[in-house]
Chains A and B, each alone.
Chain A
């Protein structure tokens, strides 16, 4: 673990975003994870994405559970709200926070242990309820903090560092999220920030339950031959379906594309997801086709990455519950205690 503080000095040409912040202003404390951990790259991607989106740090809440991945909110966005909750319980805490204050941006950070084992139920219900959040799983397929046992997302047939084969089926969180109704689903790789940063930006600006499965090699316990989540394996089997640009507002197209190469998805709030297609027949707005494609490629041993599914007309939990538009913490005494007359009216309505 590194003991020194990352120097405050930065590159003289470091650009500033619309708020006047540099990327360095979105950093957190120095990581205590193992050197080379994929999670640190994901933290760097989150920092980059939030800087590019000019997010006001105090408008974002980062919520996590327990595990290597759940430690990472300490390493980015130091000026934001944070809640390091109980193992596997990030989704409940996030849902509660979101219900209490719908105005914040919610970033749920979890791992394969936290979301696919102890918190699988929590994961499933937060997605199916449609909480407006960006749920990021930093997926290394291994229990790193307890020294390298297979996790629930380890692929059947993959090998541990000591050469033992995994005989149990792995959970594919992307497939689950698609089935459970997530309205923005993507998969990426910690070693490919060009792909990951736009996916995070898209998730953060999406209105509805957005889920990202980010494969993140564990250099200490799962980066060997026989692992299906090592740097080498992921690089060799990465099957990207598209490349994403996130446009807030309507920016002109500056790059030249071949006919049919570009696909634009305009979301409900007017933001545009501009997708450079890498597979001609892949349609990211078709949930069933996405699920099928995923299964097919998985059977071939490929890891499908990119923006796999997006519902441009997504809604969230608040829309469906018809909750008050004002965050609960901003409601005044007269809203919260409307008085005996209001109660009598409600009671009358129930008779």
Chain B
């Protein structure tokens, strides 16, 4: 023996790859997506020109592919493995739009309403969370009633997202797929008492009322200058519904979130020539997505930071400007970051209008406190993180109404969870025991060195989405700025995907330890070495495994008594290990992980 046996630490448990969680974690994008959309699967279909198939995978998982393909917060992209092996992640979000833009008629693929099962569900609010519940439950035979105060369904998707980011046709289309499934839509009907709704005999109630209250800033001058101070989300909704069509020449937007970005860009289109965003903290700390900040800056909107609003300045009942205190970030004794005044004189900025986008909150004045629902110390209903159930067993929450403002994709994920809970609850299942995901494993081997996925890694850098000409964009609040990838660009961007769902699966008993996989691996992921404890093992791999967020795949049972250790962190899923393996000890297997939705699969007990 070649002297391996010496340094034998306590053995690390061999990896159990039969647990769906193991390989789900390797598909970073899918894991990061709240709805766990199988991203690589639909990206491959886009590359293949099968846009309708790609759309349907999205539709099943995230319900609003066309809408999300333009507006999603994209938690998948910072997670994307491509971002760890080169500079930028795959443009997952905008590829979703490619599927939506290029699909053909999907009506034949939509679920058909099942015979009524006699159970009635009420969904309060017609935003993304409620519509997801309706979409999941209506085809199962539930009689779903959706209530909303607005004239049209869509919730914040319709009221708050500016049309230049999301055309109304797209909302109509995707909301329409759901209303066509037969839920009873009670529009322009505001629910103002949960107590009385509970008496109407619904078997379950879903609350998806969003976070409809924009936070205000109570500063000197607020009352006097009220005519020119607007709450961001209310103002956006007035623009969306065409109640507002102009704003002053000089506009200050307060706040650093995505709503602030929507406000400033909308203001630029309604007559704002000198529009600036002013934030309390640093530019880097802003909550807005980096690409939204980039788009705002691209429209000549400066973002000024470390300025805390102090007063609205007015003259004769008219707003003339605002003053700000200059601050800097410092660590206090406990190491917490704090904003402290720099001592410089206050800064004054002249303006005609101010848009306040400093956050929003959910509010439940319509839920009576004597109906048995528990509220926490912030006066928010107590909702279970996973089941979405409130303390009234048949009342469920989702979207921003559940845990405060998040985004559309979280609302969809909550909607799916709540629909599963409602379906289980009404079928006498224990909703605390969540249904496991469905896993389909398919070997990708087609021939000696042929795979049924494209394993040739594209070296291309991330492609930019073409934009409409800026001068033209700024003239029309309804002209969509992003033109989307065309099919050619969509193909090229899709080719950047690393197919992280095609897993490297190792069978120790046929391995002859020839090192072929170790030698070929472009990322130095694979090591054959003496067993040891994980922390120590991570230091003596072919390349150090420093990303503790990523697992080591460990297999024992080799002839020399060593273990095979694969660091999943930067694996390209190129399959070269399997191509150069003489015995088939490595195989490339697609693990399609499908989150179980409401329906027979979640009621198996």
Say yes or no: A40-B580 contact (C-beta < 8 A), given A4-B574, A9-B457, A191-B515.
Answer: yes
Q: Which of B542-601 contact A (CB under 8 A)?
A: 543-544, 546, 559-560, 570, 572, 574, 576, 579-583
Query: Secondary structure of the B side of the interface?
Result: loop
B-facing mask of A189-206, CB < 8 A → 1, else 0? 111110100000000000
Of A9, A30, A36, the contact of B523 (CB 8 Å cutoff): A9
Of A9, A11, A220, A236, the contact of B543 (CB 8 Å cutoff): A11
A11 and B516 form a contact (CB under 8 A): no
Q: Which of B485-522 contact A (CB under 8 A)?
A: 512-516, 518-520, 522
Say yes or no: A9-B2 contact (C-beta < 8 A), given A3-B449, A35-B582.
Answer: no
Of B520, B560, B581, the contact of A235 (CB 8 Å cutoff): B560
Give min CB distance, B1 to chain A, whole Å.
6
Nearest residue (CB) in A for B570 is A11
What is the bound-complex CA distance between A210 and B543, given in angstroms? 31
A37 and B516 form a contact (CB under 8 A): yes
A223 and B512 form a contact (CB under 8 A): yes
Give min CB distance, A200 to chain B, whole Å.
15
A8 and B459 form a contact (CB under 8 A): yes
What is the bound-complex CA distance between A40 and B520, given in angstroms? 9
A4 and B456 form a contact (CB under 8 A): yes
B-facing mask of A158-175, CB < 8 A → 1, else 0? 000000000000000000
Contacts of A8 in B (CB 8 A): 457, 459, 522
Contacts of B519 in A (CB 8 A): 40-41, 43-44
Q: Which of B408-456 contact A (CB under 8 A)?
A: 449, 455-456
What is the bound-complex CA distance between A217 and B583, given in angstroms? 14
A2 and B2 form a contact (CB under 8 A): no
B570 and A12 form a contact (CB under 8 A): yes
Of B85, B514, B546, B570, the contact of A41 (CB 8 Å cutoff): B514
Give min CB distance, B23 to chain A, whole Å.
21
What is the bound-complex CA distance between A30 and B3, given in angstroms? 31
| B234 in contact (CB, < 8 A) | no
Say yes or no: A193-B515 contact (C-beta < 8 A), given A7-B572, A12-B570, A235-B1.
Answer: yes
Contacts of A14 in B (CB 8 A): 524, 543
Contacts of B512 in A (CB 8 A): 36, 219, 223, 231-232
Nearest residue (CB) in A for B451 is A4
Give min CB distance, A38 to chain B, whole Å.
7
What is the bound-complex CA distance between A30 and B2, given in angstroms? 29
Contacts of B523 in A (CB 8 A): 9-11
A-facing mask of B1-26, CB < 8 A → 1, else 0? 11100000000000000000000000
Contacts of B580 in A (CB 8 A): 2, 31, 35-36, 40
Give min CB distance, B573 to chain A, whole Å.
10
What is the bound-complex CA distance between A231 and B582, given in angstroms? 13
B449 and A191 form a contact (CB under 8 A): no
What is the bound-complex CA distance between A35 and B448, given in angstroms? 10
| B189 in contact (CB, < 8 A) | no
Contacts of B516 in A (CB 8 A): 35-37, 40-41
Contacts of B457 in A (CB 8 A): 4, 7-9
B449 and A1 form a contact (CB under 8 A): yes
Query: Secondary structure of the A side of the interface?
Result: loop
Contacts of B85 in A (CB 8 A): 9, 12
| B467 in contact (CB, < 8 A) | no
| A180 in contact (CB, < 8 A) | no
Contacts of A9 in B (CB 8 A): 85-86, 457, 459, 522-523, 572
A4 and B455 form a contact (CB under 8 A): yes
Give min CB distance, A311 to chain B, whole Å.
27
Give min CB distance, B399 to chain A, whole Å.
38
What is the bound-complex CA distance between A223 and B511, given in angstroms? 13
| A315 in contact (CB, < 8 A) | no
Contacts of B574 in A (CB 8 A): 4, 7
Say yes or no: A219-B576 contact (C-beta < 8 A), given A6-B520, A41-B519.
Answer: no
Contacts of B513 in A (CB 8 A): 191, 231
What is the bound-complex CA distance between A40 and B515, given in angstroms? 9
Of A10, A36, A190, A195, the contact of B582 (CB 8 Å cutoff): A36
Nearest residue (CB) in A for B579 is A2
B570 and A36 form a contact (CB under 8 A): no
B-facing mask of A179-194, CB < 8 A → 1, else 0? 0000000000111110
Give min CB distance, A1 to chain B, whole Å.
7
Of listed A35, A41, A236, residue having the most chain B CB within 10 A: A35
Nearest residue (CB) in B for A189 is B2
Nearest residue (CB) in A for B567 is A11
B546 and A36 form a contact (CB under 8 A): no
Nearest residue (CB) in A for B572 is A7
A217 and B514 form a contact (CB under 8 A): yes
Contacts of A40 in B (CB 8 A): 516, 519-520, 580
What is the bound-complex CA distance between A31 and B455, given in angstroms? 17
What is the bound-complex CA distance between A190 and B513, given in angstroms? 11
B559 and A232 form a contact (CB under 8 A): yes
Give min CB distance, B445 to chain A, whole Å.
13
Give min CB distance, A301 to chain B, whole Å.
15
For the A-B complex with A4-B455, A8-B459 known, give 16 more contacts whose Cβ atoms are closer than 8 Å: A2-B449, A2-B576, A3-B449, A6-B520, A9-B457, A10-B523, A35-B582, A38-B514, A41-B515, A191-B513, A219-B512, A219-B514, A223-B512, A236-B1, A238-B1, A238-B2
16 A-B pairs within 8 Å (CB atoms) are namely: A5-B456, A6-B520, A8-B457, A9-B85, A9-B459, A11-B543, A13-B546, A31-B520, A37-B514, A189-B2, A191-B514, A191-B515, A219-B512, A219-B514, A231-B513, A232-B559
